[in-house]
Homo-oligomer: A and B are copies of this chain.
Amino acid sequence: MEKIIALLSGGIDSSTLVYYLAQNYEVWALTIFYGQKHAKELIAASDIARLVCKKHEIINLSEIQPLLKSALTTESLEIPKGYYSDESMKITVVPCRNLLFLTCAAAWAMSNSISKIAFAAHFGDHPIYPDCRLSFVQKTEEILREYESNIQILVPFINLTKREIINIGTKLGVPWEKTWSCYKGSEKACGKCGTCRERLEAFELNNLKDLIQYEAY
């Protein structure tokens, strides 16, 4: 089976992605710890990878932290409550995050003569995260071609909403209770940050109950 490297955070989208890819590929999952407060997602990533991926590397790049200013990594910046569409959510953008992740994935791919990498950018990401847009994906493929490689970046969910992703994941048997989304990394999900709200809404729209525990919502 052809190998593919997939970025896996442990959230809904990337967990569904590895299940989706595992139908046709040998999936090598890559998880990057970049100093995010919600390091709990790393455990979720491990749990998911164990089920459908051939390999899983968790790479600790958290010492990059002094270079990044974002509510997701900087202790003094609070994670905003609200919706992704809110202006206040911009503080959760991690500068160059997906470029960093895809660069790592590409390096791993080149070191192993793998020619496909994938990540779970989806429709809801586009307004706020520039590195989840198709133009970003295309330009990243171009820069990778400079390395005389021929790496293709697959983004099968780029035009899907979270509701549609949950629909696909449910059919594929993704164990949602093992995934983690909340930007705060507390024992229970906060239910109030952008990613919690988006998750809850998407489950509701699918008439499903989200089985992870929430502080409040």
Using a CB–CB cutoff of 8 Å, the interface residues on chain A facing chain B are: 30, 57, 59-61, 63-64, 66-70, 94-96, 99-100, 103-104, 106-108, 110-112, 130-131, 133, 135-136, 139-140, 142-144, 146-148
Known contacts A68-B108, A96-B144, A136-B143; 11 additional CB pairs below 8 A are A57-B67, A59-B66, A67-B108, A67-B111, A69-B110, A70-B111, A130-B146, A130-B148, A131-B146, A139-B143, A142-B143
Closest Cβ of chain B: how far from A153's Cβ, in Å? 12
Docked CA distance A142–B111 (Å): 25
Docked CA distance A96–B140 (Å): 12
Given A136-B143, A139-B146, CB of A96 within 8 Å of CB of B100: no
Can you sample 15 A-B contacts with CB below 8 Å? A57-B67, A59-B64, A59-B66, A59-B67, A61-B63, A69-B112, A70-B111, A94-B107, A95-B106, A95-B111, A95-B147, A96-B147, A131-B146, A142-B142, A143-B143
Docked CA distance A216–B108 (Å): 36
Docked CA distance A139–B146 (Å): 9
**What residues of chain B lie closer than 8 Å to A135, measured between beta carbons?**
146
**What residues of chain B lie closer than 8 Å to A146, measured between beta carbons?**
130-131, 133, 135-136, 139
Residue of B nearest to A61 (CB): B61
**What residues of chain B lie closer than 8 Å to A68, measured between beta carbons?**
107-108, 111
Docked CA distance A140–B146 (Å): 10
A107 lies within 8 A of B95 (CB): yes
Docked CA distance A107–B65 (Å): 10
**What residues of chain B lie closer than 8 Å to A103, measured between beta carbons?**
96, 99-100, 103
Residue of B nearest to A63 (CB): B60
**What residues of chain B lie closer than 8 Å to A30, measured between beta carbons?**
67
A57 lies within 8 A of B66 (CB): yes
A69 lies within 8 A of B136 (CB): no
Residue of B nearest to A149 (CB): B95
Docked CA distance A133–B94 (Å): 28
**What residues of chain B lie closer than 8 Å to A139, measured between beta carbons?**
139, 142-143, 146
